[in-house]
Amino acid sequence: MINEELAVKMVGITKRFPGVIANNNINFEVKRGEIHSLLGENGAGKTTLMNILYGLYAMDKGEIYIYGEKVDIGSPKDAIKLGIGMIHQHFTLVPPFTVTENIILGYEGNNLILKTDEAEKRIMELAEKYGFEVDPRKKVMYLSVGEQQRVEILKALYRGAKILILDEPTSVLTPPETKQLFNILRRMADEGKSVIFISHKLDEVMEISDRITVLRKGKVVSTVSKDETSKRELAKMMVGREVIFLLSRPEVEVGEIVLDVQGLFVLDDRGLTAVKNVYLNVRRGEILGIAGVAGNGQKELAEAIVGVRKALKGKIFVEGKNVTNRPPYELMSMGIGYITEDRVGKGLIIDLTVKENLISKVYSAMTRKLFFLDKDLAERYSKWLIKEFDIVAPSPETPAKTLSGGNLQKLLLARELAIEPTLLVASQPTRGLDVGATEYIRERLLEQKKRGTAILLISEDLEEILGLSDRVAVMYEGEIMGVLPVKDANIEDIGLMMAGAKRLNR
């Protein structure tokens, strides 16, 4: 029921951050009852534009009209009053609170004394109307990520949102959950609400949108109707050049087993079993992909293998040697490389310089005369890696924290690959990176494979897993739901396994 009436009209929006123009004279319109996607790479300015609409950022220039009326949105409060709701990538929920408590928190219409029963009733009505399933009395900490997202949406609807902004809502969902979300969004659009869908995933954009606006480097490339465009065309607009979707996987002779995990159990930070009875092996020259929604034990599995988390039960062999619960430095000297998913928090020491980060794994080799560092050697070593890995940094003395996300990842990759690992554990190696950096990282991984490294690739990005791996293992709630050669894998099956709905016999 798309109506020609405009719900949102943003004219000439400009927003500068120190050093960059995040939004450069952007015009953006959303009709009533339509699902409008904002497509673009990371850093294209999608989220900035929507944060302006939601009152989180003040724009430097431009005008906003909501249902034809010029408005001044100074804070999220103003936006909510105008009927705008926004679901952020990081949920703003209070985990120990119930669904109802989360929804009524901060709501203007509350009396001094909470009327939880009334609120519950209204929530149930809303949920029914849009086809949600929620238990308003359940605590949010016990909900799955998909359910938590639905609470966020309900929160916006409860406040009377007529324009709903979703920032990369599918990045945390399994394929079936995504389908459910799309059903809800479609129903809302049919009701006459407007949905703005921020994404960089082409498939989803093509599936859900009525119209699509592509942003690149803070500017609008074009607004197109879904029926008049294609995935390929959108990709070109988004990146500014043709993208090769399929990586050419080198044919490599797979060798003997390098990593052998037998019946592994690992606890997470809360002391709960995160990895349950996992059996895995990776061979020389092979990439084993671990698919699964984040938080299903992948992180704990990786950490146990590289020795930074204790294995509760089970054994880990590297090149035939039992390395279960050996200290990380011992594993490191055996040639195990680790690309952690938390590159800023755990992978790098971002307050140190690029050089100091690069030599942090090999500093004993850089030592000369007792314990003095060989400065020249360190300098040459880091300069070589900066060049070799195409890291954009003014000098080796640059503090790592000034680097962009893609360059930080290259820095981490350089440090780990420089030791020529026999086993590489790569956890979410391209998460949050733009297309260019992603391509680069993937190529380097394939290059390692060619060199004969055994690679354990953990990723939420199915396309990445299917594109790079030789075999795929799917993890769900700490268990391996199945391992299968990538040529036998199809997205539906893997999706079902990711959601715990299917299991292959081992």
114 in contact with other proteins (CB under 8 A) = yes
490 in contact with other proteins (CB under 8 A) = no
470 in contact with other proteins (CB under 8 A) = no
Nearer to other proteins, 16 or 383 (CB): 16
Nearer to other proteins, 141 or 491 (CB): 141
Nearer to other proteins, 64 or 80 (CB): 80
350 in contact with other proteins (CB under 8 A) = no
Window of 34-42, 106-114, 366-374, 382-390 that interacts with other proteins by CB under 8 A: 106-114
Give residues 238-277 in contact with other proteins (rule: CB under 8 A): 269-271
112 in contact with other proteins (CB under 8 A) = yes
Q: How far is the CB of 108 from other proteins (least distance, A)?
A: 8
The secondary structure element, H or E, covering residue 128 is: helix 116-130
21 in contact with other proteins (CB under 8 A) = no
Q: How far is the CB of 498 from other proteins (least distance, A)?
A: 27
Nearer to other proteins, 104 or 332 (CB): 104
Q: How far is the CB of 393 from other proteins (least distance, A)?
A: 24
Window of 31-39, 97-105, 119-127, 278-286 that interacts with other proteins by CB under 8 A: 97-105
69 in contact with other proteins (CB under 8 A) = no
Member of 61, 70, 77, 179 binding other proteins (CB under 8 A): 77
Member of 1, 113, 244, 370 binding other proteins (CB under 8 A): 113
User: How far is C-alpha 374 from the chain's CA centre?
Assistant: 39
Nearer to other proteins, 110 or 364 (CB): 110
Window of 100-108, 169-177, 414-422, 428-436 that interacts with other proteins by CB under 8 A: 100-108
- Structure tokens given for 221: 């490339």
- Structure tokens given for 232: 């390929």
User: How far is C-alpha 87 from the chain's CA centre?
Assistant: 15
The contacts of residue 357 (CB under 8 Å, 6+ apart) are: 348, 349, 400, 411, 415
Give me the DSSP letters along 158-220: HTT-SEEEEESGGGG--HHHHHHHHHHHHHHHHTT-EEEEEES-HHHHHHH-SEEEEEETTEE
Nearer to other proteins, 107 or 329 (CB): 107
Member of 20, 25, 42, 97 binding other proteins (CB under 8 A): 97
Give me the DSSP letters along 263-303: EEEEE-TTSSEEEEEEEEEEETT-EEEEE--TTSSHHHHHH
Q: How far is the CB of 348 from other proteins (least distance, A)?
A: 18
User: How far is C-alpha 152 from the chain's CA centre?
Assistant: 18
Nearer to other proteins, 113 or 246 (CB): 113
18 in contact with other proteins (CB under 8 A) = no
Member of 104, 127, 198, 412 binding other proteins (CB under 8 A): 104
Q: Measured between alpha carbons, how far is 266 from 277 in angstroms, rounded to an integer?
A: 9
Closest residue by Cα to residue 283 from 261, 299, 301, 303 = 261
Q: How far is the CB of 246 from other proteins (least distance, A)?
A: 35
328 in contact with other proteins (CB under 8 A) = no
Window of 16-24, 109-117, 233-241, 322-330 that interacts with other proteins by CB under 8 A: 109-117
- Structure tokens given for 111: 């009396």
Q: How far is the CB of 110 from other proteins (least distance, A)?
A: 5
- Structure tokens given for 327: 């200290």
**Do you know the residue count of the chain?**
506
Binding residues with other proteins: total (CB under 8 A): 26
Nearer to other proteins, 93 or 456 (CB): 93
Q: Measured between alpha carbons, how far is 218 from 38 in angstroms, rounded to an integer?
A: 12
Nearer to other proteins, 104 or 316 (CB): 104
Closest residue by Cα to residue 74 from 58, 92, 51 = 58
Member of 34, 41, 101, 416 binding other proteins (CB under 8 A): 101
DSSP β-bridge partners for residue 223: 213
Member of 27, 110, 322, 364 binding other proteins (CB under 8 A): 110
105 in contact with other proteins (CB under 8 A) = yes
395 in contact with other proteins (CB under 8 A) = no
* DSSP code for 226: G
Member of 5, 17, 58, 106 binding other proteins (CB under 8 A): 106
Report the greatest alpha carbon distance in the chain: 77
The contacts of residue 182 (CB under 8 Å, 6+ apart) are: 207, 208
Give me the DSSP letters along 356-387: HHHGGGTGGGGEETTTEE-HHHHHHHHHHHHH
76 in contact with other proteins (CB under 8 A) = yes
Answer for the pair 350, 340: CB distance below 8 angstroms, yes or no. no
Q: Measured between alpha carbons, how far is 480 from 504 in angstroms, rounded to an integer?
A: 9
Q: How far is the CB of 136 from other proteins (least distance, A)?
A: 15
The contacts of residue 426 (CB under 8 Å, 6+ apart) are: 339, 445, 455, 456, 457, 458
93 in contact with other proteins (CB under 8 A) = yes
Give me the DSSP letters along 394-441: S-TTSBGGGS-HHHHHHHHHHHHHTT--SEEEEESTTTT--HHHHHHH
Catalog residues that contact other proteins under the rule CB under 8 A. Answer: 75-77, 80, 88, 91-97, 101, 104-108, 110-114, 269-271
